[in-house]
Each structure stands twice: as C-alpha cells, then as structure tokens.
Chain A
Amino acid sequence: MTINETQDEIIEEFELFDDWEGKYEYIIDLGKKLTPLDEQYKTEDHIIKGCQSRVWLHAALQGDRVIFTADSDAIIVKGLISMLVRVYSGHTPDEIVNSDLYFMEKVGLQQHLAQTRSNGLASMVKQMKTYGLAFSALQKG
C-alpha cells in the first residue's frame, strides 16, 4: 500500500464516526494497542521536544525501507502516533520525503498538529521526514 492509500484508508475508517466521542474512543483504542517502544529507546536521543506530553521516535533502515517505532506518555497522542507510524513506516526514504500529509486535516484532527498543542506531534512529523532525508542521503552516498 502506498502512503496515500493508507491515508485514504484512515479517512474512510473515520467516516464511520458521527460524533467526537466515537472518534476519540477509536484514537484512544489505537493508543492502547500501539506496541510500546522498547525501553532502551526511551532516551534523550529519541525524545521529541514538546512540553505537555513526551514523544519518543525510533527509526531504522531495513533493506531499503524505513521502520518507525514510537511511543508517548499521553494516550491520545499515542493513538495519533500510531496512525502516523501506520502511514509512514515500511516505505522508502524517498517516498517519505516526497509525501504530503493530508489525512489529519481530512478527519478533523488538524488542531493536534498546531504548535500550541506543544505535544511534539508536529515536531514528530518533521522528525520522520528528517529521518527520510538522512536515510535517502545514506542510500545514495
């Protein structure tokens, strides 16, 4: 599945919810189900700066694909992270770098990417792209 196909799939899933409560219930559920990040990666190197909640992101190259794993101490952010990992993980660095993130806006969660949320989510998206760039350079180098 391409990055955009995954985004479209998520958008479709959210069409099932007609109120905020169902939507958040789903996100919270995703958060609970996200495989926790290995404790060894919960270090300062992997932390994404945010003031309200902490977010950790780990990236590794497997073959020509980037595998992301991530975690947070807040459950809603964790659910949102789980969707971002689903969208980006398993793609090549170039696909990640050239992608356009639109599903958050389409499902009405754009406000979570706003700076004022200071939850590190916006920085996390940026960081995922930065990993893409770095791995891309590595592959080409």
Chain B
Amino acid sequence: MMTTTSTIPFDIERIRADFPILDQEINGRKLVYFDNAATTQKPIPVIEALMNYYRGYNANIHRGIHTLAEKATADFEASRRAVRDFLNAPSAEEIIFTSGTTMSINLVAQTYGRHFLKEGDEIIISGLEHHSNIVPWQMLAGEKGLTIRAIPVLENGELDLYTFEGMLSERTKIVAVNHASNSLGTVNPVKEIIAKAHAAGAVVLIDGAQASSHLDIDVQDLDADFYALSAHKIYGPTGLGVLYGKRALLEAMPPYMGGGEMIKEVTFEKTTYNDLPYKFEAGTPNIADVVALKAAIDYITSIGKPNIAAYEHQLLQYATEQIGQMDGIRLIGQAKEKISVLSFVLEGVHHQDIGIILDQQGIAVRTGHHCTQPVMDRFCILGTTRASFAMYNTMEEIDKLVAGLQRVKKLMA
C-alpha cells in the first residue's frame, strides 16, 4: 500500500541530522542542548563551507589579482549581500563585519558616540540589556560626562514604555535596546521605541543578538539606525558579527580602528579613508567565517524563518506549561511576546545545583545571571536556570528536562 506523504512543513528528523554535534552522549545520556541563547549549533553546510574555504581557496581578499584571491573576495562579498537580504538593508555597503554584537555596539559607542555626543547628553538603555549593551555606553559616559538612564522592567518582564516616553527629551541622543532579551526572552516593541526616539531626535541602536535567529528582521520597516547581531547565534561561526548602519550615519562617523583595508591613500602627513563598508573593516577580516555565515543564512532561509518561529513557539508553549506547573517553580519573565527562552527559579535550590544535576543527565542549560545582572536585581534573585530552544529541539527533549528537574527536586529534598 502506498502512503501519501502529507505536507510536513517542518521535518525535525531531517533538521536534526544536519547538526552532527547533537548525536552524542554526555555522561552516558543522549545530549539535550538547551543553551541556544548562548550559542547555537552549526549545520553541516556551515561546517563544510569552513572546510571548503580552507581546503580550496584560502587567500587574502580585495588586494590579490590571482584566481584564489578573486574567488575568496567574491564569496566574502556574496556573504555581505546575504546579510543585507537577511536584514532587508537597503545596500550591502551598510553591512559591516565585526567580531560580534559586542564589537558592533562598541564601534557605535566609540565612533558615533564619541564624535557626536557632548557633556550633558543622555543615552537611554533598558533594564533588560546584556552587559555588552551597558558597559560600552558607561565607558563613553565616563569619558564624556553623559548620563545613562534605563527603561524600567515591569513584573512580567516587559519594558515600561509609558515611563520611557517620559524619559525622552532633547537631551536624549542615543537609545540602545535589545530586540529580544537573552535572560527573559521578552520581545521588545522596537518599532514603536524607534519611532518615539526618532520623534525626540535620538538615534537608535538595536541589539539583535537574540532576535535574529527567531524573528524576521527588516531594518527598513523598523527604521533602525543601527542593528547589531552575532553570527554564532544564528547557526553561524563564532567570533563574527554584523553591524548594520544607515549610510548617512556611517559616512558621518570616523573610523574605529586604523590599519590596512580601511584606507585609500596613506602618506605620513595624511591618510584618506576608504569608502563604506571598508572604512570600518581595518585589517584582514575573518574571511572563512564570513564565507560560512552565508551558508548559515541560506540554511535558515531554506527552512524559513516563519516555520522556525512557529515551531519554536510550540516548544516554548509546551515547556512553559510543563515546567510552569511544577511545584516550587517560579517562571521569570512572562511577556506576551517571547522568543523561545524559559527562565525560572526553583524555590530553595541554588541554580548552580540545578545546572550540575541536569548536566549529569546530559541536559545542557545555562545558570546564573546571563550577563544581565540588572535583570536579576530587578527580580531580587541571584540568577536563574535558563532553557533556550532552537529549531532542532524537540518536545521529547522538554519531557527529559521536566524529568531531570523532578530528579533535582528529589535529590535536593
């Protein structure tokens, strides 16, 4: 008898087979990887792109005229265009490769911030920010006598937009907030935040480190001035990131680092800088990882962000129900709109003990403050246990987490 193949929009078995790292045992149990907000695993096409590059056409880009250099340059620039499409940026020249979200934010702070802000100006961040969207601004503020203000966080983990509106004034020069929170999963209404900030005359940077693997990103629709992300959180290689910036802003900004690639002409008296995006890409860039980033983007696109988002939403809902109903569990962050991040505390049990016992059972979660100490202070806790899901996770794995937590409770009782 023939079986008709129904239209399965999401073939989880096939997806899992693309991620070789998942097929291993940890402490004698099949690995359950729930630390995706820290970094995602890499599918075979990404791993192969790295290998193919080093095996087949490693060469320094842009300057060489030989065949390998041309191929490397072509692939490098093809990746830039893939990022442009991924973010729906107007042009590839507005896509700058960095070492990660952290560097992208520092770049804006140290060039735009240092050049255009002056004593008495204000920067608004939020109470949900990762340390990498706090410290660069504090460093700048210390140097220039600026004030940093933070949008408060409501009990459910959403930002208090009413207070935010009151904070905006003609002194506000930069607003820097995340698109989604890594510790609570909250998706922030960045389009609305950007519109309000623009009305007050401020420039807005969006930290898209967490949102970029889960949500469709359209920097033009958002009208973001800057958008930062990390390749390793979208199934791409580590140590590589992106800064999107509006052309007019990038052109007005001084370069960040000096060196090769970023110059047009150098004499000892004067150097003229190269055009965008090279002005901000001094030195030999991370060519192999940039090339492999395109493979990651193509992979995501082939499965389709809406499909991924819908599936991850089911995982999050199931986990929220199953874990939320356990005795002694307090979920931290219950925003209406969330990416697939579940943060919780278990009454009377230190998060580190939870992490150790889960690891014994092959389950990888993150415990601690997740580089967001202000969030922990806001909820009067030292840290949480965080399970964060990606497209290759399954409902059965969530069942294992629930069973693992029951084990923790039994051991700690």
- By a beta-carbon cutoff of 8 Å, the part of chain A in contact with chain B is 20-21, 24-25, 28, 51-53, 73-77, 119
Contacts and interface: CB of A to CB of B under 8 A. Distances in A.
B180 to A, nearest CB: 23
B126 interface: no
Interface of B: 27, 349-353, 355-357, 360, 367-369, 382-383, 407, 411-412
Nearest to A54: B382
Contacts of A20: 27, 360
B411 A51 contact: no
A25 B369 CA distance: 26
A73 B411 contact: no
A51 B360 contact: no
Contacts of A52: 351-352, 355, 367-368, 383
B162 to A, nearest CB: 34
Contacts of A25: 411
Contacts of B350: 53, 73-75
Contacts of B382: 73
B352 A119 contact: yes
A20 B357 CA distance: 9
A76 B412 CA distance: 10
A121 to B, nearest CB: 11
A24 B411 contact: yes
B371 to A, nearest CB: 10
A77 to B, nearest CB: 7
A76 B368 contact: no
14 contacts: A20-B27, A20-B360, A21-B360, A21-B407, A28-B412, A52-B351, A52-B368, A53-B352, A73-B382, A74-B350, A75-B350, A75-B412, A76-B352, A76-B356
Contacts of B356: 24, 76
B353 A76 contact: yes
A126 B205 CA distance: 43
A51 B368 contact: yes
Q: Which of B351, B353, B383 neighbours the largest number of chain A CB atoms within 10 Å of its CB?
A: B353
A119 B368 CA distance: 11
Q: Which of B350, B355, B367, B407 has the most CB of A within 10 A?
A: B350
Contacts of B411: 21, 24-25, 28
Contacts of A73: 350, 382
Contacts of B407: 21
Contacts of B368: 51-52
Nearest to A72: B350
A101 B285 CA distance: 45
> Would you list the 5 A-B pairs with minimal beta carbon distance, nearest first?
A74-B350, A74-B352, A52-B352, A53-B352, A20-B360
B182 to A, nearest CB: 16
B352 A77 contact: yes
Contacts of B27: 20
A24 B352 contact: no
A125 to B, nearest CB: 18
